[in-house]
Amino acid sequence: MKSLIGKVALVTGASRGVGKGIALGLGEAGAIVYVTGRTVEEGKGAVSLPGTIYQTAEEITKLGGKGIAVRCDHLEDEEVRDLFQRIQTEQNHLDILVNNVWGGYEFFNDGTEFWKEKGFWTAPISRWDKAFQSGVRAHYVASILAAPIMITQQSGLIVNISFFAAQRDDKGVSYAAAKAADDRMATAMAHELREYHVAVVSIYPGLVRTESVMKSAEFFDLSNSESPQFIGRAITALATDPNVMQRSGQILVAAAVAKEYGFTDIDGKQPRPITVNEA
């Protein structure tokens, strides 16, 4: 992988899962990586899975980058503003923003069986609210705050983590609508930021071996799966491409990016890009 030494990145929602993997993928290339999330102590958050922002930051540093953990609730605009002000004060620039934070499928305590409802009209409205407030809106707010920094420096990359559900009708109305919104937000932002040499893309992972997936590994075919770090390598490839502006506004697939740029997963394997019908 090419070097990101001297580059500053922010990965939102990086206590675990895809966000943590992205942060590690940027860290192994030498970046200074700010990681946000609400989990600062294992077993104390809403999700009973391992991982904290501090653990992620430590692993980034062990890989050769510099990890900086910042507890941030992306539903609180003032906390997000403080985060960006801190980055600007400490680093005076921001090269990569990865909008990964997501609340669309956290645990629900409303009496319904998660994602087993028959019809969107039987699903809790909280499903929609979480997807759009903790997902789409959080990505929009972070992008609003990153854009002026990147415009001033006339460079930067904003990445929305999305998924094939944006292009399908059978993945739940709120989930599909939120991911489609992330995709359109990326393409529209790319249009407005192009003159400032700031690239914006949306990128899809495949089946990722996150903590939650591995907890239920017997229910998955992992033969073509990806490590969480794999999509971080894809973002590193884009961030180090001097012609990245040619990709701005595109909806990309991590495994296809890997084939194009010639890198593999951390286990040396080359995951096959899946299609929308396979997702």
- For residue 55, give the amino acid letter: Q
Paired tokens of 128: 């929609």
CA distance 48 to 130: 18
For 14-82, the DSSP string reads -SSHHHHHHHHHHHTTT-EEEEEES--STTSSSS-SS--HHHHHHHHHHTTSEEEEEE--TT-HHHHHH
Residue pair 131/175 in contact (Cβ under 8 Å)? The answer is: yes
Residue 175 annotated in active site: yes
Tell me the three state secondary structure of residue 224. Answer: helix
Q: CB of 205 within 8 A of CB of 234?
A: no
Distance of CA 127 to the CA centre of its chain: 19
- Please, how many CA atoms are within 13 Å of residue 24, restricted to the half-sphere of its CB? 22
Structure-token pair, residue 29? 């290339």
Give dist(CA 208, CA 232) in Å, integer.
Answer: 12
Q: Which two tokens stand for residue 275?
A: 């299609």
- The amino acid occupying position 255 is A
Which residue in the block uniquely carries the two structure tokens 């707010």? Answer: 141
Active-site entry in 140, 175, 196, 261: 175
Beta bridge partners of 98: 11, 159
For the annotated catalytic residues, the residue numbers are 175
